[in-house]
Chain A
Amino acid sequence: GNSVTQMEGPVTLSEEAFLTINCTYTATGYPSLFWYVQYPGEGLQLLLKATKADDKGSNKGFEATYRKETTSFHLEKGSVQVSDSAVYFCALSGTSAQGGSEKLVFGKGTKLTVNP
């Protein structure tokens, strides 16, 4: 079945540092890939997505590229801020041969803390 593996945290960085959170996936067919972010005490919200190979999703300075050859969707940001402190989830949604989509499958989440 479909699965997502993301790097375990927690990750602690200083403000303006470079961020990478690794995410790899296993899926049949042609999945769509997502990064969701959860700020303290809140629900998840979509950060970015990519729906086909070589697509790059980007939002709020974060980027991730859909790499089918390495089955990866790593999240990057060039200069993190204190306000980026949150838990980040990689997720995928597969596409069945008959069309339509399967359910979202989440990684376990990576907690990021950014210190001033």
Chain B
Amino acid sequence: NAGVTQTPKFQVLKTGQSMTLQCAQDMNHEYMSWYRQDPGMGLRLIHYSVGAGITDQGEVPNGYNVSRSTTEDFPLRLLSAAPSQTSVYFCASSLNRQGTYEQYFGPGTRLTVT
């Protein structure tokens, strides 16, 4: 199993540009989520999905869009990049939404918006 994969590893955008961060998992997990990690802030939940076709907002959803057309993929779209979106983004998945199940994290995408 490859686990959770994310692409790209690094990305530089100009303000106003849009892009999609890719996330895929091959563990047949129902639950997938996107976090952003900023210095001194821990990880904050952006969006999550409890299964194909179902998504919901997390703590910091503004400026981001998600969709879940398959169990495996959960892309995160930045609609119009802003410098405040400079961060490291992590995708995670778990067997289901029960909190006792381990979340598996991808290696992250480091995004810089200039």
Interface size on B, residues (CB 8 A): 23
Q: Which of A46, A89, A102 contacts B99 (CB 8 A)?
A: A102
Near B by CB (< 8 A), chain A positions 36-72 give 41-46, 49, 51
The interface size of chain A toward B, counting residues with CB under 8 Å, comes to 24
- Assess whether A109 is in contact with B97, with CB atoms less than 8 Å apart: no
Q: Are B90 and A103 in contact (CB under 8 A)?
A: no
Given contacts A89-B42, A103-B48, A108-B40, contact A44 B98 (CB under 8 A): no
Contact A43 B42 (CB under 8 A): no
Q: Judge if B1 is at the interface, Cβ distance under 8 Å.
A: no
Instruction: Judge whether A32 is part of the interface by a CB distance below 8 angstroms.
Output: yes
A50, closest chain B residue (CB): B100
Q: Chain A residues with Cβ under 8 A from B90's Cβ? A: 43-44
User: In the complex, which residue of chain B has the Cβ closest to the Cβ of A104?
Assistant: B103
B25 within 8 A of A: no
Of listed B43, B58, B107, B108, residue having the most chain A CB within 10 A: B43
B41, B100, B108 pick with most chain A CB within 10 angstroms: B100
Q: Does A101 contact B (CB under 8 A)?
A: yes
In the complex, how many angstroms separate the beta carbon of A60 from the nearest chain B beta carbon? 15
Interface residues of B (CB under 8 A from A): 4, 33, 40-45, 48, 58, 90, 92, 97-100, 102-108
